């Protein structure tokens, strides 16, 4: 099922995206992006800008 993305959804979308990034805390694991990427993958402001540019965006529930 797909649902329209609203501003109320933004924090709930951004949080798991950024948690999925295995930063320096995961360096002891067998695979980590820590040496390639730093910082957050996205922000609420960036996602809101994407939603303005793509007003028909939907979220898979």
Residues 11-54 have pLDDT tens digits of 999 998 888 776 555 555 566 666 666 677 899 999 999 999 99
User: Which residue segment(s) compose the domain that 51 sits in?
Assistant: 2-60
Count of structural domains, the chain: 1
Q: Considering the entire predicted model, what is its pTM?
A: 0.68
Q: Which residue has the higher pLDDT, 59 or 34?
A: 59
Q: 1-10 long-range CB contacts below 8 Å, 24 or more apart? A: 1/60, 1/61, 2/58, 2/59, 2/60, 2/61, 3/58, 3/59, 3/61, 4/56, 4/57, 4/58, 4/59, 5/51, 5/57, 5/58, 5/59, 7/48, 7/51, 9/59, 10/44, 10/47, 10/48, 10/51
């Amino acid at each position: 099922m797909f649902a329209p993305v609203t501003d109320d959804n933004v924090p709930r979308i951004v949080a798991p995206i950024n948690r999925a990034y295995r930063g320096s805390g995961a360096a002891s694991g067998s695979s980590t992006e820590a040496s390639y990427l730093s910082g957050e993958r996205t922000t609420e402001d960036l996602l809101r800008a994407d939603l303005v540019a793509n007003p028909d965006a939907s979220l898979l529930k």
